[in-house]
Amino acid sequence: MLSTSIQLVYAQKSNTKLTEEQRIKFDQHFINANKFLMVKQPDDALKEIKQAELIDAENGALNFITAQIYLQKNLLIDAERYALKAVKLNPENPWYNKLLGEVYKTQKQYKKAGDLYAVLYRKHPNTLSYLYDATYMYVMARELNNALKLLTEAEKAIGLNEDIVKQKQSIFLAQNKVDKAVKEAEKLTSAYLLNTKYIGQLADIYLSNGKEEKANELYRKILTIEPDNGYALLALADDYRNKKNYAEWFNYTLAAAKSNTLDVKSKLRTCVEVISSNQFGNEQKSKNYQLAEALTQSNADEAAVWMLLGDLYTQDTKYKEAHEHYEKAAIIEPGNYSIWRQMVLCSSELRDNQQMTKDCERAIEMFPNEALFYAYYTFAAQQLKQYQAAINMALRGIELSDGQSEIQIQLYVSIGDAAHFLKQYNTSDSAFEAALKIDRNNTYALNNYAYFLSLRKTNLTRAAEMSLRTIELEAENASYYDTYGWILFMQKKYTEAKVQIEKSIEISPKNAEVLDHYGDVLFFLGDINKAVEQWIKARDYGAENNLIDKKIKDKKWYE
């Protein structure tokens, strides 16, 4: 592009007669200046052009380039002076005139710029860009009548033109001359009776100026021509909502959702408005699903519509269906973090640990620095008794979770849990200590650490302190009373243990593990029959103690 421009401007004749030697030196400086200008080194360009100016100051191309340099340096007075001189030397050169117009525009001398482009347009009536530049500058200068005059002049010369009509509409609306703006729009609707675009533009003018009924009449006319016109359907849906005719609001919104002529963002906006409205009572849920299903049928290649349907199923606690729809969204838009997070949450709610590990593995491939997915994977792997895999993933997650204390704690606790089951007790204790260093009142860490210490009959005093702290922090948690009771049992404080475990049963009467512990405590308190009764309950509720049947049969406690 630049080489073409240089040839055009340099082709201008100079008013100065030069010797061959002067011409060669001039050319050298001139070309160098252009090169520096092209790479945006205006200071170097200016040095070269000043050398050329000493040889031939009356060269139009030189003044043109000099003006460009000063414009690039934002020295607007100098840019204007040289641009004016270039135009004076060759008034017919369009490049010189356009540069002067650009200088005026940068100076915010919009009226001067408009006058300049108007002259250019009148000289070159087939170059409509001059017309539009002129009217734009007049509008910026608030010389609206000058803009209208030029547009009307152009319309008489070239006939009906959509761009000219739209510009006149905008100016009339800015002048609050709605009737004149309407007449401009009617030129197009009269000339193109079945063109719904022009009908819609006229309807928009009516709508934006408070003439809703006239606008709606035109939107309905559009639907007689194009029944699937999403723009008109959406406009009428908005009107019915404003009139609180919610049945028709839904009907037109549903039709818009099914339309193949409306962009998906507009569809989603209006559908979400209906979904979040709660205007349909007992039918709200079914209507929400209708809209979301319609979107997936008309815009099946858009991840957002599958996410919307997934969100509805999630709200309805239908996590399996929700997961299926998030999966479809992930295929379309695999780089969307929100989709993967929702998929993992659904797997978690379903307690489908196999699926959760798969979801997390794929999510980590996409987002290797997101610690949340490492935390979920670690939890699921632990539930699957894949303890070493859980530890390995947790260690990776900890490296990425700086500043995310809750996730760090979860990962450390997971290591503590998994390491305990692998009998890596030093690792387990260190992990719990690291979690408590971040938050000394984290009840999850306190409880699990205390319970594992009790199972190992190690540091029971510390275990009791931690367990008691969990009860102080969360007095309604049955597991914490059971842990504390079990620690007391290990300390052979059976009467105190009985009190704590009974508190746990009062909160959660069907917990098999707690009932098993209760039987153990009663046994050591000498109430054998009642102990057996509790062991039987524990077995019936699914206790995972391999010795439960033997304890019941022999009426004896086994460790």
Which bin fits 529, alpha (ψ -120 to 50), beta or left (φ > 0)? alpha
Average pLDDT over residues 525-533: 94
Q: What is the pLDDT of residue 15?
A: 61
Give the integer Cα–Cα distance in Å for 442 and 492. 27
The token duo for 201 is 């533009």
Q: What is the pLDDT of residue 10?
A: 43
Give the integer Cα–Cα distance in Å for 47 and 235. 61
Give the integer Cα–Cα distance in Å for 95 and 383. 75
> Which H or E run contains 124?
none
Q: What is the pLDDT of residue 527?
A: 93
- 278-312: per-residue pLDDT in tens? 899 999 999 999 999 999 999 999 999 999 999 99
SS3 14: strand
Q: What is the pLDDT of residue 433?
A: 97
Split at pLDDT 50, 70, 90, the class of 192 is: confident
Predicted confidence (pLDDT) at residue 128 exceeds the cutoff of 50: yes
Angle at the Cα of 385 from the Cα atoms of 382 and 389, rounded to 5 degrees: 65
The residue among 416, 354, 426 whose CA lies nearest residue 391 is 416
User: 């197009």: which residue's tokens?
Assistant: 188
Task: Express as a percent the part of the chain with pLDDT over 70.
Answer: 97
Give the integer Cα–Cα distance in Å for 280 and 276. 10
1-106 maps to which CATH number? 1.25.40.10
Please compute Rg for the chain using Cα positions: 40
Give the integer Cα–Cα distance in Å for 518 and 86. 102
Q: What is the pLDDT of residue 205?
A: 82
In terms of pLDDT, which residue wins out, 164 or 322?
322
CB 133 within 8 A of CB 165: no
SS3 59: strand
Query: Which of 48-62, 222-236, 327-341 has the lowest average pLDDT?
Result: 48-62
Predicted confidence (pLDDT) at residue 537 exceeds the cutoff of 90: yes
* Averaged confidence pLDDT in the chain: 90
- In terms of average pLDDT, the best of 49-63, 363-377, 533-547 is 363-377
- 418-473: per-residue pLDDT in tens? 999 999 999 999 999 999 999 999 999 999 999 999 999 999 999 999 999 999 99
Give the integer Cα–Cα distance in Å for 78 and 182. 46
- 240-263: per-residue pLDDT in tens? 999 999 999 999 999 999 999 999
Q: What is the dihedral of CA 130, 135, 140, 146, to 10 degrees?
A: 130
Predicted confidence (pLDDT) at residue 189 exceeds the cutoff of 80: no
- 466-479: per-residue pLDDT in tens? 999 999 999 999 99
| Complete DSSP assignment for 143-167 | -HHHHHHHHHHHHHHH---HHHHHH
Split at pLDDT 50, 70, 90, the class of 180 is: confident
The whole-model pTM stands at: 0.70
CB 515 within 8 A of CB 507: no
Predicted confidence (pLDDT) at residue 14 exceeds the cutoff of 70: no
Q: What is the pLDDT of residue 323?
A: 97
Cα 379 from chain centroid (whole Å): 28
CB 188 within 8 A of CB 162: yes
CB 345 within 8 A of CB 323: no
> Which H or E run contains 170?
helix 162-174
Give the integer Cα–Cα distance in Å for 479 and 471. 9
Q: What is the pLDDT of residue 53?
A: 84
Q: What is the dihedral of CA 293, 294, 299, 305, to 10 degrees?
A: -40
| Complete DSSP assignment for 214-228 | HHHHHHHHHHHH-TT
Predicted confidence (pLDDT) at residue 108 exceeds the cutoff of 60: yes
Amino acid at position 79, single letter: A
Split at pLDDT 50, 70, 90, the class of 343 is: very high
